[in-house]
Structure 1
Amino acid sequence: MSKITIAIDGFSSTGKSTVAKQIAKHLGYVYVDSGAMYRAVTYYAMQNGLIGDNDFNKEALIYQLPKINISFKFNESLGFAEVYLNDENIEKQIRTLEVSNFVSQVATVSEVREQLVKQQQKMGQDKGVVMDGRDIGTVVFPNAELKIFMTASAETRAKRRYNELIERDDDVAYKDVLKNVQNRDYIDSNREDSPLIKADDAIEIDNSDLSLDEQFEKVLQLVRMTLEDKE
């Protein structure tokens, strides 16, 4: 059976990564969390004093980009690939609200996007890949056979993210999570370089009222239809 490229875009906390992992596992495809790559660069910037509440040294980050090596290593016990920054597992560190507060700013830097897009395109050159992010169907894989655009209300997404963080014992308030979601939506949609937009040929899915199983089945049906069209 021929393989395809599946691009899943959408706003933050719409469940893109969850369904992308499920579909990749079901098909035996490679899963790439492009958002984690931007989080890794953000974490690097934070750890090296390049970004903070009132300061962002873009020039220094651009200069240090060659020092940033991001990779994914599959964890059999977890069932998915974890993110490594310069051979250090940072999967947990990059999922904090603090990193979320800065990641959209880092993602606006053209040089960062250019470097990561090249890496992402290389990962998907043999097809058989499921990648989620903000510009996968518009920039990274404009010729992807299946493009999906996930959406849900800001309040729904903030509640999901809040519950996720609480389950990890993070000390957060819902209002702060909602503010973060709204701020990221604005920055992602209004940046000059590769803004978050729905590709003309993408299929939109509003999962505000869908369970994880319902979402998976809906996407899997689209995958099956696309594969049938390829035969």
Structure 2
Amino acid sequence: MSRPLIIAIDGPAGAGKGTLARRLADYYHLPHLDTGLTYRAVAQMLLTKGWPLGDAPHAVEAAKLIDLGDLDRTVLSAHAVGEAASKVAVIAEVRKILVEKQREFARRPSGAVLDGRDIGTVVCPHATAKLYVTASAEVRARRRLAEIEANDGAGDFATILADIMRRDERDMGRADSPLRPAADAHLLDTSEMSIEAAFSEARTVIDGVLAKGSEA
């Protein structure tokens, strides 16, 4: 019986890891989990109920109630929810609960594609293949602005860039599971890459790992 194919994709906001993860999940016929949505779901519940974001007991209660099969990307993609999620994610007990739920998702017989901030380092350290997708803060801010404008919204580049840099600082500087590439992750800088080029390189990396595994 073949081993499950677990693909771990990490990286900062706006680097393109979510789009890449969905493409890879479709290509390899695997379920996909955007682990960032699990933290956003906790934040959304806190905001909806009017509970303080820094209130650990309420955040823990919300984390226990989250159903990974019922994550509404449209609702959870709101900017305010993302900002709140970055604050919720620093609560250690919340991370512990959600990480176990994420690991359970990855334990499917077929495997899975998970993307987030600490998949290759914490959630699935023994993943079949690991990618760390990054891009410059300026490029990520331009992409975010283009996304907002494509949805008939309005945004300010300087404000978006400042938000991204603040989130990077929080995610990289937190004591528990900071954002960083796993030692054995393949680094993929998408600053000057199209999604097709990134997808092609990611497939090459993963297929190479699978080929080595079949020879072992």
- The amino acid that maps onto 2:55 is N
| From 117, 121, 126, the counterpart of 1:138 | 121
Task: Give the distance between the partners of 1:40 and 1:63, measured in 2 at CA.
Answer: 12
C-alpha contact 2:99 2:123 (8 A) present in aligned 1: yes
Matches within 5 A, 1:85-104: 90-104=72-86
Change in Cα spacing, 1:41 to 1:169, as seen in structure 2 (3 Å) is farther
Q: Is residue 161 from structure 1 mapped to residue 139 from structure 2 by the alignment? A: no
Query: Please, what is the CA RMSD of the aligned residues?
Result: 1.6
- The amino acid that maps onto 2:66 is N
2:155 aligns to what?
Answer: 172
Deviation of 1:104 after TM superposition, in Å, equals 1.1
Residue segments in structure 2 that go unaligned for 5+ positions in a row: none
Change in Cα spacing, 1:34 to 1:164, as seen in structure 2 (3 Å) is same
Deviation of 1:94 after TM superposition, in Å, equals 1.3
- Superposed CA deviations along residues 136-169 of structure 1, whole A, max 9, x for unmatched, are 0000001112111111100101111121122223
- Give the percent of matched residue pairs that are identical in Structure 1 and Structure 2: 33
1:70 aligns to what?
Answer: 67
2:58 aligns to what?
Answer: 60
- The amino acid that maps onto 2:93 is E
Higher percent of residues as strand: 1
| From 184, 190, 205, the counterpart of 1:201 | 184
C-alpha contact 2:43 2:85 (8 A) present in aligned 1: yes
Q: Is residue 5 from structure 1 mapped to residue 6 from structure 2 by the alignment? A: yes
2:175 aligns to what?
Answer: 192
TM-score after normalising by structure 2? 0.92
Task: Give the distance between the partners of 1:170 and 1:71, measured in 2 at CA.
Answer: 29
Deviation of 1:31 after TM superposition, in Å, equals 0.8
Task: Give the distance between the partners of 2:14 and 2:62, measured in 1 at CA.
Answer: 29
Higher percent of residues as helix: 2
Residue segments in structure 1 that go unaligned for 5+ positions in a row: 73-82, 85-89
Matches within 5 A, 1:114-153: 114-125=96-107, 126-153=109-136
Task: Give the distance between the partners of 1:214 and 1:166, measured in 2 at CA.
Answer: 24
- The amino acid that maps onto 1:45 is L
Task: Give the distance between the partners of 2:21 and 2:141, measured in 1 at CA.
Answer: 20
TM-score after normalising by structure 1? 0.86
